[in-house]
Structures are given as structure tokens and as C-alpha cells.
Amino acid sequence: MRAAVQFAAIARLACLEAVRRPVFLLVALTVYAGIVLMPFLLHYTLGESARIIRDSALALYFVGGLLLAATAAGEALARELRRGTAATVLAKPVPRAMFFLAKTAGIAAALLLFSLAALAATLLAVRAGASEPQRDWTAALPALLAVILAPALAGAWNHRTHRPFASAAFLLLLLFLLLALGVSAALATPLDHFVFPANFDWPILRVGLLLILCLGMVVALAAALATRLQVAPVLLVCAGVFLCGLMGDCLLGPRLADSWAARATYAVLPNVQAFWLLDALDLAPTIPVDYLLLAAAYAAAWSAAVLCLGLVSFQRLEIS
């Protein structure tokens, strides 16, 4: 029981520290604003506005999530190790393994909150731009108000109470985007008069779930790297590894039959293509649950292997 309480406390503090950093709010706000404005920025979509907005919004969300995962893990571990904060915590009866895993869990929780708001913004943006060339203001207006009002109210609250602005603005963004989604879901689409649940493209959430699993793998790799590297190298290595994983089929696929090195590299790299299934939505109405479970098992196994390596590195690290 005591171990569980310690783990939860460290994870909660890691999550709060992540969302309190200005860079977290800056990236999150940029992603949410970019997604919400997507229907107004894209032109000449040749009748494919919903698909283009969906693909662009999820791509922006994934890139922003990768940036946040790498920087948050680097901030949570690398800088605490350098400043001596970790040594203060570990001087108490807190095992190193618990500290490392709890920090990683806290960063993963922060990324989950970021993902929930991003997926809500994506659903709203796809509905707002689906009826080309007109815009569905029953979805666009609540989304725009959410992105505008959240920082404004957080700024006013910070001015009156001197409490942290970044975390308040981020949590208000999450709350307002979910509220905007609820309000829009209660309203029929103005042109086709679709009502809930037909007024949203809900299969997007299954692709979003796959991307959440992939971002969990990014968090695991970033946490393992942060035991030895600073924030900038962690970000660069994570971006390089997952970019290679995205292009693995193209780069290594032709060499798998006659090269053991290619097969080994292909097995080690994260198979990002297995999580980016937007094209599958154009061929089938939804992604099967069996595939989601298989992808979750793969992400869990890959993350566990990487975290084991990171844990070994952290156990051998001299902390002062």
C-alpha cells in the first residue's frame, strides 16, 4: 500500500510539472489552434475536405505529441538529475525503479490529457469542414471559442490569484474542447441535419487510440534516453528513431530477405506504420477491435523492453 501511494504521488507530481511548463502549453495551444483553424486554412480540396482535414489534424497532433513526449521526459529526468532534485527524493526510502517508472507514468498521463483535447479538436474540425465549401458553425464556433477563452480566463485567474498560468490554461483548454464537443454533438448538422451519433466521424477515435499507443512508445524511449542525455539530444534521437520506424517498410523492406542486419534493425525499430491507419478508414467503416488489442500488445511489449533498458541505465547511474 505504501509503495502504491508513493508511486501515485510521484506520478501525479510529474504530470503536474509537465503541464506547468510553458513549452507544454505553447506546443499544445499551437496544435489545438492549428487543428481548429484547419477548415479555414485549406482550400481547393476537390471534394475531399473531410479526409484532408482529418489527415492533416492527426499528423499535426502526432508531431506535437512527439515533441511534448520527448521534452517532458527530458525535463522530468535529465534536468532533475543535473540539478540534484532526484538525489533529494532518492535519499528518502524511494526505490530507484519506482522513481523512474512513476516519472514515466506521470509523463504518459500528461500526454493522455493532451491527446484527449487534440482528438476532440479533430472531431470538431472534421465536422466543421466536411460540408465544402460551407462551414458548419455549430462545430467551428464552439471550438474557436474554446481555444480563445481558455488562455484568456487562465490569464485573468493568474492575475487575480498569482497561481500558475500554464497549467490552468492547459486544463481549461481540455475542459472547454470537451465541452465544445458535447455542445456540438447535441446539435444537428445544418446542411444534412444529421443528429447524434451520426453528426461526427467517430471512427477517427480508433485511429487516435492507435496514435496514443504510439506516443506511449515515444514516452518510454524518451524516458530511457533521459537517464543519459539532455533534453535536446533526447528529442533528436526520438524523432530520428520514429522517423526511421515510419519509413522502415520502404528503407528495409526490400533487404529483409537477404540481410540479417536489415531484419534485426526492422525488428528493433518501432513499426509506426502499424499505428497510422488513416487509409484504412477509407476502405473500411472502422478498425477492428482485434487489431486494436494486437497493436496495444505490441506497444506494451516494445515499451516494456525499452523501459527495462532505461531502468538498467538508471540503476547504474551515479546520482549526486
Concatenate the DSSP letters of all residues of 253-277 into one string: GGGTTT-HHHHHHHHHS--GGGT--
Q: Secondary structure of the chain: what % helix, strand, coil (to 5)?
A: 80, 0, 20
Environment class of 55 (CB within 10 Å of its CB; exposed 0-12, middle 13-18, buried 19+): middle
Q: Look-up: residue for cell 532526484? A: 86
Residues whose CB is less than 8 angstroms from the CB of residue 125 and which lie 6 or more positions away in sequence, other chains included: 35, 36, 38, 39, 53, 57, 139, 140, 143
Query: Which ranges of the chain have pLDDT less than 70?
Result: 43-48, 78-92, 131-133, 253-254, 256-257, 282-285, 317-320
Q: Look-up: residue for cell 464552439? A: 142
- In whole angstroms, give the CA distance from residue 243 to residue 235: 12
- Report the sign of the C-alpha dihedral through residues 205, 211, 216, 217, in that order: positive
Segment 275-307, tens digit of pLDDT: 888 777 766 667 888 889 999 999 999 999 999
pLDDT of residue 304: 93
CA neighbor of 69 nearest in space, from 224, 299, 273:
224
Cβ–Cβ < 8 Å for 319, 86:
yes
- In whole angstroms, give the CA distance from residue 21 to residue 167: 8
Residues found in the chain: 320
Element (H, E) at 239: helix 231-246
- In whole angstroms, give the CA distance from residue 138 to residue 131: 12
Our measurement of the distance from residue 193's CA atom to the centroid of its chain's CA atoms, rounded to an integer in Å, reads 33
pLDDT of residue 83: 60
**How distant, in Å, are the alpha carbons of 187, 254, 255 from that of 263?**
52, 10, 8
CA neighbor of 299 nearest in space, from 176, 211, 169, 187:
211
What does the DSSP 8-state code read for residue 75? I
pLDDT of residue 318: 65
Q: Look-up: residue for cell 506511449? A: 216
- In whole angstroms, give the CA distance from residue 54 to residue 35: 9
User: Helix 2-20 and helix 165-185: axis angle, to 10°?
Assistant: 90
